[in-house]
Amino acid sequence: MPQPTAHRSWRDALAIYLRAPVITMLFLGFSAGLPFLLVFSTLSAWLRSDGVEVAAIGFFAWIGMLYSIKFFWAPVVDRLALPLLTRRLGQRRGWMLLAQLMIASGLIALASLDPLHNLGLVAACALLVAFGSATQDIAIDAFRIESAPDDMQAAMASTYIIGYRGGLLAAGAGALYVAAAVSWEVAYLTMAALVGVGVITVLLRPEPARLSLTTQLIHEPRVRAFLRTSRGRPRWLRRLGAWLIGAVVCPFTDFFTRHRRKALWLLLFIAVFRISDLAMASMANPLYIDLGFSLATIANVTNVFGIAMSISGGLLGGLLVARYGIGPILVLGAAAATLTNLLFAALALAGQSLPMLVMAIVGDNLANGLASAVFIAFLSSLTSKAYTATQYALFSSLMTLPGKFLSGFGGLVVAAEGYATFFVIATALGLPAIALAIWISRDRSLVPPPAPRAS
């Protein structure tokens, strides 16, 4: 009878955070988080302060759709070799560097424009920054998955979250401070300079080992079948067909072939895991304001407690996964992210209570930080090393779309039933995720076991 696997010791679990691949994600996380607010709230503040109409500013929110459809060009990032860059840096680092150059170029161009008289060009530059940012996300996710084994993915996700939060702080509060002290132009030039953090990281860290594109295509049965049946056709057509099958078709068929009947249940789980907290997110700030909290109080509590707890939750999630494995912590994350929404229902009933506001923010961000770390590790374990960029981009898009869609109806529910009922409904939306997490945690073919204790 097989002996149960011993858990990794706490010392070994903590030591994971000192490994080079884990530390690397701190800087790549900063590089990923930096551009996000620069095309959203920070840009909106600049446009409004320069006198751009609110109606026009509202349309800039559509730029965010690029992040939700990045799986459309993920196969290109996954498989297309870039001239010079891929040969010198490798597939992942080459695409990361190209994306960072797009981000920096877009930010420099934005700094040279007068928004009031060049709104169309501002939108075009913002689109360039967002496209570069989404492309960088694809490459960083693939780089992370290929750089370390599954038992290190949660720790890498934790440091990535910390770095990402740092990038958000720089692009949010940092850019606003520079704009207030000097100008918006200098603020955006400063942010363009900070893109150098990611560039230096890409140049210093090695490319993860992976099979060449030719080797991957040769070993793919669907590609071999296409090459057999297309003999006699022009060589360029056969090469293009083989590339399209390997880059677009195979990532999807690979997932369904590996997981068979479980595949649809896994996709359902991915879609509902974050649905509870994403669906309620749109009504959190309106709740605070309607309860009578000042904007300064909201900003202080959400920034001080929110960011600290999100980082703490991410670190805790990485540590628990390193010691106990993904399965049990996946259940814990799903339950915590779902049930902490009840704190907002309690806040709605309690009224303008600062201790209750702090409790809701602390509980929500701690739970979401932990859940994010373990879920990223789980998605990474589902991803095939042959199709990392394409499959992970699909998973991450599926993870956010249902919740973002439902959040648009939050105002209607609040208007009809009130805040407390809305947050109870949002909690109920997360119950299927808990049930599916329990099922997945019991299946050793879906979640890797905890690492053994070091001797």
pLDDT tens for 187-237 read 999 999 999 999 999 999 999 876 555 555 555 677 667 667 777 778 777
What CATH number does the domain located at 261-455 have?
A: 1.20.1250.20
Whether the CB-CB separation of 79 and 212 falls below 8 Å is answered with no
Q: 72: which DSSP letter? A: G
The packing angle between helices 419-429 and 431-441, to 10°, is 20
CA distance 306 to 299: 10
CA distance 234 to 237: 5
Query: 32 is written with which tokens?
Result: 């990923």
Whether the CB-CB separation of 208 and 152 falls below 8 Å is answered with no
Confidence class of residue 3 from pLDDT cuts 50, 70 and 90? very low
pLDDT tens for 148-172 read 877 788 788 889 988 998 898 888 8
Whether the CB-CB separation of 64 and 130 falls below 8 Å is answered with yes
Domain boundaries, the chain: 1-210, 213-248, 261-455
Highest mean pLDDT among 57-66, 274-283, 372-381: 372-381
CA distance 156 to 410: 33
Pick from 144, 138, 198: nearest CA to 171: 198
Percentage of the chain surpassing pLDDT 90? Answer: 36
Whether the CB-CB separation of 348 and 419 falls below 8 Å is answered with yes
Token pair 């974050």 in the structure block, residue:
274
Cα dist. 445→317, 327, 448, 449 in Å?
21, 11, 7, 9
Confidence class of residue 6 from pLDDT cuts 50, 70 and 90? low
Cα dist. 50→118, 170, 184, 256, 346 in Å?
12, 21, 10, 51, 40
- Whole-model pTM: value is 0.75
CA distance 174 to 41: 13
Query: 177 is written with which tokens?
Result: 């401070």
Question: Higher model confidence: residue 7 or residue 269?
Answer: 269
* CATH architecture of the domain formed by 1-210: Up-down Bundle (1.20)
**Do the domains 1-210 and 261-455 sit in the same CATH topology, yes or no?**
yes
SS3 411: helix
**pLDDT at residue 1, rounded to an integer:** 41
Contacts of 362 (CB under 8 A, 6+ apart): 305, 309
